[in-house]
Amino acid sequence: MKQRFADFFISRNFSLLWLGQALSSFGEFVFESTVIVWLVTDLYRDSAFLPSAVGMAVAASAIPRVLVAPLAGAWVDRLVPLYVMISADVARVIHFLLFISAYWLFQLEQGQVLFGVLLLLFVNSVAAQFFNPSRQAVMQAVLPAERRVEASAKAMFSLTGISVICASLGPALFVLVGPLWALLINVLAFAGSALCIVLTRDLGRRLAAQTERPSFWGGVAAGLRFAWGHSAIRTLLIGMALYGVSLGVNNVVLSLYAFKTLGLSASEYGLILAAFPIGGLIAALLVRPLLRSWSIRQAFSASLFCLGLGYLGYALSPPFYLAWLIMAVCGLCFSVFAIVQGPMLQEAVPEGFMGRVSATLTPVLAIASLLGTLMASQTLNLAQAVASQQRLFIDIYGAYIFGAACLLLMGAGLMLRGQVRARAWK
């Protein structure tokens, strides 16, 4: 029994890193969900400035994903990644404590509170751009090759569970105990994450011995060249871009489609949203048997293709029970898509490049998602007007979901075709 328990957690260092990541992600998710509720129900309630405030909050989190992530990855490869993770968590703890102290001691005006919240979001996101590639580099050193998919599935299972909990916990904390206590919980989460990483054994010394110091800009350029030049990483980047565009479109139209086309009630829509992470939890349990007959790259492309099929079915106005089932399948496919990304990176990227290469994924996803959002939001009203003028009985919201699904199908289909041809050629 003891051996089976130890085998489940892979190693002591992995268990601590896993717990550290879970605590760090918990802090991020709770904070971001709390901020939106704070702005909407308190700071700018019934204010014409509310949409702008929410937009500024979204931008404060998104800008570092585009501008900071590639540079942060290059710094990670020049430093000891374990110490970068600790520094990122400590920086967040200090900044949260400074804001809490200022909010507690001084009568801050509405604009000053907003500025402090935006600064918190920005610092939190910047720290995450250093923390995440550092974690990838550390996991590459900690995990044996045959346990990487298992470890990624465990991480996805915990992250999915945390995201489900935090979606309701953040707003509940704000309502029950107010913003300061909600922020203090974030402090405890980030401090706990840093403590878990500190408690790892001999990992810092081992990683320090492997760390090289390439020139900064030369390292950035080398990382970009490697990322696009390696077929597996190129597949990963293309898949992330395709998913990002689909995500951006769906961010705009999914809720409108649910209420206006499917005619769902608020409670039914909540159940539809819950189906996605439920599918993700199931996938985290089933992905290892799946990969016994599929390679990691095949699973990546096939899961993206199946995700497109799922959204295609969802766009055809299914009844509620079928819509719930389709969304659960979409969550399952997305979870497989996400789980295999880490092992793909760890298998393809040599030591010393992990920070730079893994950090290219975040801006690709962020930019593609932004493009999809802009395209959908700016053309939706025009498409509805044209359909009305031409008396076309078309469900515009469903058509956008259908189009995004076709993009996933075409892109993933081409990737699968290329992989089959390459395998046949060998």
- Per-residue pLDDT tens digits for 349-383: 777 777 777 777 778 888 888 888 888 877 777 77
CA nearest to 185, candidates 201, 198, 196, 169:
169
* Distance, CA of 49 to CA of 35 (rounded, Å): 15
Cα distance between residue 55 and residue 186, in whole Å? 22
The pLDDT of residue 95: 93
pLDDT at residue 424, rounded to an integer: 55
- Which stretches of the chain drop beneath a pLDDT of 50? 1-3, 5-6
Side-chain-side CA neighbours of 107 within 13 Å: the count stands at 0
User: Residue 214: its pLDDT value, please?
Assistant: 67
| CA neighbor of 72 nearest in space, from 278, 382, 280, 360 | 360
Distances in Å between the Cα of 401 and the Cα atoms of 208, 263, 310, 321 are 48, 16, 10, 19
Task: State residue 310's pLDDT score.
Answer: 93
Question: Rounded CA gap, 126 and 314, in Å?
Answer: 36
Are 355 and 134 within 8 A, CB to CB?
A: yes
- The greatest distance separating any two alpha carbons of the chain, rounded to the nearest whole angstrom, comes to 70
For the question of whether the overall pTM of this predicted structure is more than 0.95, the answer is no
Residue 376 pLDDT:
81
Chain CA centroid to CA 373, Å: 16
pLDDT of residue 44: 79
> Domains, the chain, ranges and CATH?
1-213 (1.20.1250.20), 226-426 (1.20.1250.20)
| pLDDT on residue 5 | 45
